[in-house]
Structure 1
Amino acid sequence: MEFIINGDPHKYTNFVKTHPKGHVLQTLEWAAVKEDNWRPIYVTVEDGGAVKASMLLLLRQLPFIRKNMIYSPRGPVCDMHDFDTLKFLMDNVRKLAREHDAIMLKIDPDISINDKILADNLKKLGFVQNMEALNFEGIQPRFVFRLDITPSLDELLASFHPKTRYNIRLAQRKGVKVRMGKREDLQEFHRIMEITGLRDGFVVRSLEYFQKMYDSLQPQGYLELALAEYEGKTIAGIICLFCGSKCWYLYGASSNEHRNVMPNYLLQWEMIKRAKDRGCTLYDFRGVSGDLNPDNPLYGLYRFKKGFNGELTEFIGEFDMVLNPFWYTVWQKGMPVFRNIRRKITLKLKKTKFNDTRGNTQN
């Protein structure tokens, strides 16, 4: 077997798009989205010219220290039960990581928690498993809802919770219209996204980030934007990503106005239909909390996604290959505190700016 760094991009891309474990976050186009803060390296393991494994590695310098971390979102792409290939890949990635002065390599494979063999294999290769993320503490969600969309549309609709079916039909009766968006619609989508973030208490990325995502992913067919309109106004929107036979619901936004006409339910249904038209077999609603207590502030999100009758899936979580134990410990203890402070400050500033803008508009 041969370990190749930054080899043939077309061969790499074709492998990711066609492999059962291929993921849009492992594409070179996703690397382009992240390149402002992460330096991408893509590697393959080849045998006789045929790709057996691939991995997108994103390098980032950690704050306050002159060290790097490496992250492979939903990687690697390979038969994870082929231990010989997996070992060859990780042994070489470990060497590459040391050359780049990385304190760790983080992966979060698209693998079920029930796959004990794989978890054991990763531990044999020197990985440490992180299982503490019940809500959204990890980089990628550990708990998701996934819907098999191979049945007919009538069968899918009939499988939804009665309240979900009712809300889809309510939106249709009330005259909510869904249309596919273009790049120029991102500004309105982002405006509504900011409202959603302030209402639900999460930080929203900049308009420029969404524009870069669109420019990198949409021309290759990896991204679609849909908007819900009511009485001539855009009141909700959704961004989904596509790769191979899979579709992922990535971002959703809704205005504080006209929420009673249930645009989010209709948007999901229309995007499910869109995914089927594109030949997808899986629709991934992405993150929900693993804490199913109704008192959890995230329970409403769980209930919304559960209504579409997907399967609640728990992944094996994040696995870290520790390369510098001292700085890894510092990072593990310090980063959650740093992120929490940064999030609170950012939300406070955004809320102040939003209120000032609304006040000036009203005046």
Structure 2
Amino acid sequence: MTALTSRTGPLTVRPITADEELATLLEVGGSFLQTPSWAASKPDWRRQYLGWFDAEGTRVGAGLVLARPVPRTRRSFAYLPEGPGLPWDEVAKDPAAWFDPLTDWARGAGAFALRVGCPVTSRTWAPDVVKKQIGEGGLLSFTSLPPAFDNPSARALETYLDGAGWTPIGWGTSNAVGQPRFLCIVDLEGRDAPTVLRSMNQQWRRNIKKAEKAGVEVVVRGPEGLDAFYEQYTESAHRDGFFPRPKFYFERIMKAFAADPRVDASFYEANVAGDVLASALMIRVGPTFSYLYGGSTSRNRDARASNALQWKAIRDAIDLGCTAYDFRGFNTSLGATSPLTGLLLFKLGAGADVVEKVGERELVVNRFWHKAFEAAMQGRTLLTTWRKRGQPQATEAEV
């Protein structure tokens, strides 16, 4: 049993089992990127599950560490994507009590750098505000406007991280490294389907009606939906100019999430009379329903299959008791003329707020090994850039 509302004495961090990690994650709340299923879909990374324990031995938090080892050494780069799963309001009251044991573990494990993806909401903006600024002042200019929500716990956490030497990763207007700091999220808490529908813009509501009149049917599929999904996804990649993931990447995800009934991955497929027009990969963990990747064909665009698909997924999320529909992030280097800006506007039209997270921070534990690792990664990035030659990454490619 975990006791996540209170703790006694100093905290320690030590290895736990995958089952213990997921049980704690589901109780305290956390990202699909922190699940054992996600770890299983990443065979090139070592995995380690950690638990936070108070003085009485009660587990009060947990996290998945993905480690990229340096060959023939015990050194590694340690990464907790969108994690760990902790009671973050409590963490903000005394961050050192929670971060210091993690740092001690990293040093003992031979990590030369430790990266965490603090999933704490920092600020939020309403969709209309963001949409207006894209056209008038550039993509990120909305961040200079007063947010609809400003989290004091995030300010306390950021102050600690800045002072303790945790460097922000993926900030500014360059392509984000790792996971996106800005997400598009539809708030579902305490809201039924008609309420959510009313929060969508007029074009979205009109397109949902068009899809109904066109006879669009949306079905939910398991691994058998992969071929149709990948056809739509790669067509979208060629049309919009981003570099697609290989097919086996999605095969791994589906296989990994199928192994645990406490989490779910599925393909949502929209068709008219059997002709598949759009498909998307969705993952549900706890109260969050996430849209990871999607694609659509250029055929029969007037049927508005993508709108119907997302509306079906949102309604399913509501029926399952989810409190958030996560459209995932967007590339912060987008300009108003980028073809991928349309994807962001699509998400905003569905009533998604833009949610800024505290985001990824990195602590250098050993400067020599970190510098060598950075040089190797820069070489890898140059090679990847050469391979992609002019093709921008899609926003969903961050996961």
Report the TM range for the smaller structure's normalisation. Answer: 0.7 to 0.9
Report the Cα distance in structure 1 between the residues aligned to 2:199 and 2:206, rounded to whole angstroms: 12
Asked if 1:118 is matched to 2:157, the reply is yes
* Preserved CA contact (<8 Å) 2:281 2:294: yes
Asked if 1:345 is matched to 2:384, the reply is no
Asked if 1:59 is matched to 2:67, the reply is yes
Paired position in structure 2 for 1:155: 195
Paired position in structure 1 for 2:80: 72
Closer/same/farther in 2, CA of residues 40 and 176 from structure 1, 3 Å limit: same
Give the 3-state SS of the residue equivalent to 1:77 in structure 2.
coil
- Letter aligned with residue 222 of structure 2: K
Counterparts of 1:19-58 in structure 2 under 5 Å?
19-20=28-29, 22-34=30-42, 36-47=43-54, 48-58=56-66
Deviation at 1:238, TM superposition (A): 1.1
Alpha-carbon RMSD: 2.8
Deviation per CA, 1:4-37: give whole Å up to 9, x if none. 53324433222101214x2211111211111x11
Report the Cα distance in structure 1 between the residues aligned to 2:313 and 2:178, rounded to whole angstroms: 25
Deviation per CA, 1:150-182: give whole Å up to 9, x if none. 312111111110001111111121111110112
Deviation at 1:95, TM superposition (A): 3.3
Deviation at 1:86, TM superposition (A): 4.4
More divergent stretch after superposition (304-313 vs 98-107):
98-107
Match of 1:322 among 345, 364, 367: 364
Report the Cα distance in structure 1 between the residues aligned to 2:74 and 2:13, rounded to whole angstroms: 27
Report the Cα distance in structure 2 between the residues aligned to 1:260 and 1:315, rounded to whole angstroms: 36
Counterparts of 1:136-151 in structure 2 under 5 Å?
136-149=175-188, 150-151=190-191
Match of 1:242 among 281, 284, 298: 284
Deviation per CA, 1:232-265: give whole Å up to 9, x if none. 2222111111111111111111123223322111
Deviation at 1:183, TM superposition (A): 1.2
Paired position in structure 2 for 1:355: none
Give the 3-state SS of the residue equivalent to 1:111 in structure 2.
strand
Closer/same/farther in 2, CA of residues 197 and 305 from structure 1, 3 Å limit: same
- Letter aligned with residue 16 of structure 1: L
Paired position in structure 1 for 2:116: 107
Give the 3-state SS of the residue equivalent to 1:37 in structure 2.
coil
For structure 1, the 5+ residue unaligned runs are 350-363
- Letter aligned with residue 94 of structure 1: T
Match of 1:96 among 89, 105, 115: 105
Closer/same/farther in 2, CA of residues 327 and 298 from structure 1, 3 Å limit: farther
Match of 2:250 among 198, 203, 210: 210
Closer/same/farther in 2, CA of residues 348 and 7 from structure 1, 3 Å limit: same
Report the Cα distance in structure 2 between the residues aligned to 1:62 and 1:32, rounded to whole angstroms: 20
For structure 2, the 5+ residue unaligned runs are 1-9, 124-153, 392-399
- Letter aligned with residue 40 of structure 1: R
* Preserved CA contact (<8 Å) 1:135 1:288: no
Match of 1:226 among 268, 291, 308: 268
More divergent stretch after superposition (336-345 vs 320-329):
336-345
Give the 3-state SS of the residue equivalent to 1:25 in structure 2.
helix
Paired position in structure 2 for 1:357: none
Closer/same/farther in 2, CA of residues 268 and 98 from structure 1, 3 Å limit: same
**TM-score, normalised on structure 2?**
0.78
- Letter aligned with residue 212 of structure 1: R
Asked if 1:168 is matched to 2:175, the reply is no
**TM-score, normalised on structure 1?**
0.86
Closer/same/farther in 2, CA of residues 125 and 334 from structure 1, 3 Å limit: same
Deviation per CA, 1:114-148: give whole Å up to 9, x if none. 42111112234431123535464221111111111
Closer/same/farther in 2, CA of residues 269 and 336 from structure 1, 3 Å limit: farther
In the alignment of these two chains, the number of paired residues is 347
Give the 3-state SS of the residue equivalent to 1:256 in structure 2.
coil
Deviation per CA, 1:300-336: give whole Å up to 9, x if none. 1111111011111122232001122244345556635
Paired position in structure 1 for 2:321: 279
* Preserved CA contact (<8 Å) 1:203 1:347: no
Give the 3-state SS of the residue equivalent to 2:122 in structure 1.
coil
Deviation at 1:293, TM superposition (A): 4.3
* Preserved CA contact (<8 Å) 1:285 1:305: yes
More divergent stretch after superposition (331-340 vs 295-304):
331-340
Give the 3-state SS of the residue equivalent to 2:178 in structure 1.
coil
Paired position in structure 1 for 2:301: 259
Report the Cα distance in structure 1 between the residues aligned to 2:70 and 2:279, rounded to whole angstroms: 34
* Preserved CA contact (<8 Å) 2:93 2:156: no
